[in-house]
Every structure is written in C-alpha cells, then in structure tokens.
Amino acid sequence: MSTPTLSDFIKAYDVRGLVPQQLDARVARAIGSAFASIVAVPDGARGIVVGYDMRPSSPELSRAFAQGVTELGLDVTLIGLCSTDGLYYASGALDLPGAMFTASHNPAQYNGIKLCRAGARPVGQDSGLAQITERAQEILDGQLPTPAPTTGMIAERDVLGDYAAFLHGLVDLSTARPLKVVVDAGNGMAGHTVPAVLGALPGGAVEVVPLYFELDGTFPNHEANPLVPENLRDLQTAVVEHGADLGLAFDGDADRCFVVDERGEPVSPSAITALVAKREIAKEVARGVEAAHVAIVYNVISSHVVREIVAEAGARGVRTRVGHSFIKSEMARAGAVFGGEHSAHYYFRDFWFADTGMLAALHVLAAVAEQDAPASQVAAPFARYSASGEINSTVPCAQTATDAVRAWANGRQVDIDELDGLTVESGEDGPTWWFNLRSSNTEPLLRLNVEAADEETMVVVRDQILAIIRNQPLKQTTKESAMSTPTIEPWLREILRCPVTKQELVDGVGPDGVPELQALVPDAGGVRRAYRVEDGIPVLLVDEARILTD
C-alpha cells in the first residue's frame, strides 16, 4: 500500500483530500495520533471531541481518528452527526480540543478534517497544523508513536439539543412576528440542525419550508456551495412560489449561511456582516458598554459598507486578512464582538470567536421579524455599492501580473496597501471605487474583487484590471475617465487608421501597466503590434512596439 504525501492535501487551514486515494482510515488514525501528541497532550487536555458530516466515509474516518487519539491515552467524545459550528459548540462547552470530519462544499469523493484547540481556538499552519502534518507523515512512514500506559476510552454524546438551546439564548425571537422561511440544506448538515434550531423556537416563530433536507453526501440536487449563484436558483424560485419572507442556504457542513430576500434576490454576505455588526454593537451599548470600546472585524475584501456602518454606530472597525485563522486571531486580540467575511463566514465572541452560520441566520430572522417591512427593505441600508464578486484568472505568473497592476496604480492618484494582496482605492477627486488583487496559495491564480459607487464604474474598473492581468486589449467604454486612462485624440486616431481596411485602433494596457494603442491590422510580415502611449501620443517606433499574438 503506497503512503500518501500529506502536504499534498493538508493546506493552510484544514485537511481536505480524495477518499481513499489520499485520506483513508490509516491516514485518519495517524492524524489523530499526531493531533493528540502535538496539540492535546501539550495543552493538558483530558480528551478530544469528534464530530462528522453526512459523507459516507465520515463515520469510518472519525472512528479511525479516535483510535489514534486513544492510543496516546486520551479519551474521545464522539458527538456523531453535526455541523461544523456544532463541533465548535461542543469544543467550547466541553472545553476540549476538537476534530470535525467534513470537506464542506467539496464534491462527494472528498473528505477532510477541521481541527481546533479547546474553546474552538483555531489550528492552522502557523498554530500547529504544520507540526501535525510532519508527525503524521512520520507515523505513516513507520515511526510509530509510543503507546500510552493506559488506552483512552471512547464515549458517545448527543449535543444537538444543547447546541440549539445555546443559540436560542443569544438571539431572542420569542416576541417577534411569525415568519415563513425557505431553507435549502443542499443535502448537507443543515438538514440535521435546522429542525433542531428553527423548529424548536417558541410559539412557532418560524415556519420552515424545507428544501433538500435529506442527508446525502453525494449531493444529488446541487453542489452544497451557495457561493456559486447557480446553487441558489432552487431557493430563489421556492421563496417566490411559497410567498416566503426570506430564504436561507447553507453549505455542506452548515457553517456558512446565505440569505435571499422575499423577491428571491440574494443579499450579499457583506450586507449581512453590516446588519449583524449593527445589532451586536447595539446589544453591547444596551449592556452599558461605550460604542467606542466595541470592535468589529472584517477582511480586506468586505464591502466598504461594513466599515461605514461600524463607524456610523460609533464603534471601531478592524480590517484584517482573508481567512478564518486571521479573523479569529484578530478578534481575540481586539476583543471584538463580531467578525464577518465575504464568503459568508460569521464569527461571534459569544460563540468562542468561532464561525456559525446558524447564529447569523437567527440575527437575520430577528432583524426582519422585528420590523414591519419586507426583508429587501431591511437589507437595503446595507447595500450601498456595486460589486463584481470574486473573479479568478489563471495566469502564467501571478507575481508578474500583480506587478503590472501595481505599476499601473503607481501612476495614478490612488491609495495602495498590501495587507493582503494588492488593494487600490481611488482618490478623493475621482469616482468612488476600489479593488483587491490576491494570489492563490496553491495555484497560479489571481483573485480580483472590485467595488464601486455605481455599476458602470465597477464594470470599467473590473474590465481594465482584468485586461492588465490577462494581457488583453481593453474595450472602449463610455466611462473611461473613471480610471484616468490616457486616450488618443479622435483626430489622431482617425489619421492612424489603416487607409485600406479602416479598422479601428484599440486601446489597451501592456504587461507593465503602460497604456498602449494596439494596431489590429497585420503589417507586411503578418505581425500585429501594440505601440506605447505617452501623454496621449503613441510612440510609433516599430523597434519599441510590442508584438501581439493571437
């Protein structure tokens, strides 16, 4: 039997691999032993709590992991089927390190493990995962651990009811008006948790219309990833057909929640972050805490509406890098009450700084139920800008493409920061827009997010930056001035046209970010060239032109 290379599928935040090619019972047992020796034993933990999702391989893998733990002398509490935030609840309430077997929204052939220390504190590459990977690899390669004098015990415990009751204690819906809500569980763990949480609310506060609640790790209806618009289609249709007040969509392990209003229109995760932030700030102020002492954390690609809502409430916004380990650590450092990400992960101080889509959903339900207005109107104050969403581009060299965008930005009146990738924001004299460009950690991929005051400006910014990234010609737009791109005067453009074909010249941007005039008429040698533009004048020197390829 070949031994897999664990670093191939243990990444920055968790384990996520193909079953059984990469992740099987033998590997899970080794990771369990390594987790116990690297995290649990040094932390003085008395045991570990383990849960799993609905994937067919999850029960076997979680049992193997538990066996690896008990061989080190620690006890294991198996809580069985649960959402990832259900596992975080158990880790916090029982004060135990935890392991959740899930591959979230990944296809059926995958499984994975999310690890945490006691109190749901994250375990990532910089907080133990690298060492766990190294030790587990040694075990698989034959360096077996020394068995403990006494083998630990495995016990089973159901915490679903306690999890639901805990969430009910954080958001009061007892006096709110009744709501009808369509919930798309995507055949994931929300089909297990939603009945326990929403179905147990007092007085029938929420009528749930279930969609794909059957637990099925093969995802027969659609991928359990609501971040992809196509996966929201069924929910959008059902909300309108049932005349529901709103819709909720959860991912496979139900730690992320997406919202659809009564019209079937998606509400952006940034808008939900702003809405929940306002509620959490108000709750702290009602407790007697000065607003200035309340902190809210958000990442670099969250909408500007988040920082504006936080500032308007008199609280303190804390901007950080993308990724749950950064959000959680920054929340702990700042003592923040809440944090949100564009990916619909929502983190709460009162939930051990961990992310929980279900608690965010309760806040949204309460916000709608407390007002005599539809969800669209409740969400409207938190939707001030037009956003592109995340656009991925595969490039030969991410650094070269980023440098080209940086060179372009350096010649303009913009603010630039590099907290996480490259963020560029327009100056006071131009239209309101900003973008962030980040490299993938695992592949030659660039991720672009653009936001602007209006749709037209957003499209201009988006298309111009994509043209630089992908080294393509720019399309003419009616709002070129939004990016202050030097243009060719119409009289000069007409003179420079080919007198035979009359084909138009195309404005573009070279790989170094410098504007170009791209002549799309082949010369005698069949070569097309792009000429650099300086102060609105093309440098028509063949030796200095860039050759274009199809």
Catalytic residues: 104
A 10 A CB-CB count for 360 gives 30
Scan for tokens 């080190």, then name that residue: 72
3-class state of residue 210 by DSSP? strand
- Both tokens of 456, joined, read 């037209």
Scan for tokens 């007002």, then name that residue: 371
| Number of residues written out for the chain | 550
Backbone dihedral region for residue 491 (phi beyond 0: left; psi -120 to 50: alpha; all else: beta): alpha
Q: Report the DSSP pairing between strands 47-52 and 98-101.
A: parallel
Q: What is the DSSP string of 449-483?
A: EEEESSHHHHHHHHHHHHHHHHT-BPPP-TTGGGG
**Residues 388 and 448: beta-carbon distance below 8 Å:** yes
| Rounded-to-5 percentages of helix, strand, coil across the chain | 35, 25, 40
Spacing of C-alpha 421 from chain mean position = 15
Question: What whole-number distance in Å separates Cα of residue 451 and Cα of residue 486?
Answer: 22
Note the maximum CA span of the chain. Answer: 90
Backbone dihedral region for residue 435 (phi beyond 0: left; psi -120 to 50: alpha; all else: beta): beta
Scan for tokens 């860039």, then name that residue: 546
521 class by beta-carbon count within 10 Å (0-12 exposed, 13-18 middle, 19+ buried): middle
Start-to-end Cα distance in the chain = 47
460 class by beta-carbon count within 10 Å (0-12 exposed, 13-18 middle, 19+ buried): buried
The helix-helix angle for 84-94 and 357-369 (nearest 10°) equals: 100
**Residues 368 and 206: beta-carbon distance below 8 Å:** no
Q: Please, which residues have CB within 8 angstroms of residue 378's CB and are 6 or more apart in sequence?
A: 275, 367, 368, 371
- Name the E strands within 335-459: 338-340, 346-348, 354-355, 386-387, 391-394, 414-417, 422-426, 433-439, 445-452
